[in-house]
């Protein structure tokens, strides 16, 4: 056993675990007060569900011996046959450490989709959706991309840490679910601004921190590849912040906090598949392109008419595509070129097609059986009380309501929730509070 690499992989697993609560804060700050807890819980429940499913059969389906290039078999069901002395074939780390690290990816990926469905789905239906989606979409796709024998792995698709298996997969799955569930009440008519920008920034910072484990940890060794990936992660993310802010300053006239946080996530997403295969200038190029293009892409929901509440499609799907495709040309050491770009396109669009189709079917089946959409009264009054019997903030405890509050001016398309907003004083106090 290689003790140093084992410690590195386990530390990376802990960092990736932190990303799911970080995501909960990031999304939770972007919704309105009445559904803030529900948004936190939509991420947090993934920690429970996917931890159990991963041990029962997820690890075996994703990393078990290959079956026809599409899925693992059930040799490792319940982690059968794995002991404390079982080591990976390459690297000499315990299989338990590798399985724990990959478990955290399985937890985070379905949680990413939750932002697209904010404010309007039944909590129980969401729990069923992510359990089924992980089983029929994430586990097989992870096998395609990362397991020896997986057809995309054998094709030579570059996806170091999850551009296809995580971000494209979750982004297009979220789009399919949104098309089934429909738009929020008041979409494009009422302001739906973030209730807490400090929470958004905190969440973005936790995600950024945890992403070093996500990306560098995928080297599965404390070596030069991990160091390269960590450096490129930082470079691309910083460049993406600047790219997003520059675009929104030109397009909308302001540098917003929400835009900076959203730009950071876009850069992290885009460098995920590519960071171990590009040099520093390549990482900067991927980051700045992702920041600017994702800033533009989030407005597509208004043009195309789908209600992606917190811009999962614009950031994760588009950002994942940017990184996955750009590495085809930017990969160093002779790996890049038209041939590699073709392989990257096959990987990206095959995952898109499969994930979209399966997510749509799963969401539709849930919708026609137990119902996916929350009731109109629950959606209007807020999902926190309806499903959790709690509220995020007890305003009565501090001696009154915010009746004197007025909405501050906001920039349309600034970042995160890119909603058209009314001018100060146009809305009633009750609507502002909601």
Burial of 69 (C-beta count, 10 Å sphere; 0-12/13-18/19+): middle
Distance, in Å, from the CA atom of 262 to the CA atom of 244, rounded to the nearest integer, reads: 8
Instruction: Read off φ and ψ for residue 423, nearest 5 degrees.
Output: -75, 160
- Residue 90 is predicted with a pLDDT of 84
- Residue 106 is predicted with a pLDDT of 98
CA distances from 326 to 40, 246, 336, 370 (A): 33, 21, 9, 42
CB proximity list for 414: less than 8 A, separation 6 or greater: 248, 252, 254, 256, 258, 259
CB proximity list for 9: less than 8 A, separation 6 or greater: 93, 97, 98, 101, 217, 220, 221
CA atoms lying within 13 Å on the CB side of residue 404: 1
- Residue 397 is predicted with a pLDDT of 65
Tell me, rounded to whole angstroms, the distance of Cα 74 from its chain centroid. 28
Name the E strands within 36-106.
66-67, 71-72
Q: Token digits for 396?
A: 């009565």
- Given a contact cutoff of 8 angstroms between Cβ atoms, the answer to whether 364 and 177 are in contact is no
Angle, nearest 10°, between helix axes 169-181 and 95-113? 40
CA distances from 365 to 53, 122, 125, 368 (A): 21, 14, 11, 5
pLDDT tens digits, the chain, 434 residues: what are they?
999 999 999 999 999 999 999 999 999 999 999 999 999 999 999 999 999 999 999 999 999 999 999 999 999 999 999 999 999 988 899 999 999 999 999 999 999 999 999 999 999 999 999 999 999 999 999 999 999 999 999 999 999 999 999 999 999 999 999 999 999 999 988 888 999 999 999 999 999 999 999 999 999 999 999 999 999 999 999 999 999 999 999 998 999 999 999 999 999 999 999 999 999 999 999 999 999 999 999 999 999 999 999 999 999 999 999 999 999 999 999 899 999 999 999 999 999 999 999 999 999 999 999 999 999 999 999 999 999 999 999 877 665 544 444 444 444 333 345 443 333 333 333 333 33
**What is the reported pTM?**
0.91
- Residue 405 is predicted with a pLDDT of 42
- Residue 416 is predicted with a pLDDT of 40
- Residue 190 is predicted with a pLDDT of 87
Distance, in Å, from the CA atom of 258 to the CA atom of 345, rounded to the nearest integer, reads: 31
CB proximity list for 209: less than 8 A, separation 6 or greater: 15, 18, 22
Q: Token digits for 219?
A: 């080297």
Distance, in Å, from the CA atom of 385 to the CA atom of 267, rounded to the nearest integer, reads: 35
- Residue 316 is predicted with a pLDDT of 98
């Amino acid at each position: 056993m290689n003790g140093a690499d084992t410690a590195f992989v386990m530390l990376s697993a802990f960092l990736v675990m932190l990303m799911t609560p970080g995501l909960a804060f990031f999304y939770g700050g972007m919704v309105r007060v009445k559904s803030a807890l529900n948004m936190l819980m939509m991420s947090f429940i993934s920690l429970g569900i996917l931890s159990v499913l991963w041990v029962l059969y997820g690890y075996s389906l994703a990393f078990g011996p290959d079956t026809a290039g599409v899925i693992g078999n059930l040799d490792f069901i319940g982690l059968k046959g794995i002991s404390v002395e079982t080591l990976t074939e390459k690297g000499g780390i315990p299989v338990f450490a590798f399985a724990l690290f990959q478990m955290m990816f399985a937890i985070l990926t379905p949680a990413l989709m939750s932002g697209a469905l904010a404010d309007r789905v039944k909590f129980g239906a969401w729990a069923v959706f992510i359990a089924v989606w992980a089983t029929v979409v994430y586990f097989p796709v992870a096998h395609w991309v990362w397991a020896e024998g997986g057809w995309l792995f054998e094709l030579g698709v570059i996806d170091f840490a999850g551009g296809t298996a995580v971000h494209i997969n979750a982004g297009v799955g979220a789009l399919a679910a949104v098309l089934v569930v429909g738009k929020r009440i008041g979409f494009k008519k009422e302001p739906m601004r973030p209730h807490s920008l400090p929470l958004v920034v905190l969440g973005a910072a936790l995600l950024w921190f945890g992403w070093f484990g996500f990306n560098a940890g995928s080297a599965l060794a404390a070596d030069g590849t991990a160091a390269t990936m960590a450096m490129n992660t930082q470079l691309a993310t910083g460049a993406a912040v600047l790219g997003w802010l520059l675009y929104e300053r030109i397009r909308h006239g302001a540098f917003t906090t929400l835009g900076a946080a959203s730009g950071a996530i876009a850069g992290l997403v885009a460098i995920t598949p590519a960071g171990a295969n590009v040099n520093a200038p390549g990482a900067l190029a991927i980051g700045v392109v992702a920041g600017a293009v994702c800033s533009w892409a989030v407005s597509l929901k208004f043009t195309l008419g789908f209600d992606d509440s917190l811009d999962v499609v614009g950031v994760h799907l588009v950002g994942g595509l940017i990184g996955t495709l750009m590495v085809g040309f930017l990969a160093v050491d002779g790996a890049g070129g038209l041939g590699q770009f073709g392989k990257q396109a096959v990987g990206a669009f095959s995952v898109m097609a499969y994930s979209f189709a399966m997510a749509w079917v799963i969401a539709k089946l849930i919708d026609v059986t137990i119902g996916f959409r929350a009731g109109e009264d629950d959606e209007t009054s807020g999902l926190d009380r309806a499903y959790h019997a709690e509220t995020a903030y007890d305003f009565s405890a501090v001696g009154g309501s915010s009746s004197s509050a007025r909405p501050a001016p906001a920039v349309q398309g600034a970042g995160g929730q890119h909603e058209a907003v009314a001018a100060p004083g146009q809305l009633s106090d009750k609507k502002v509070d909601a």
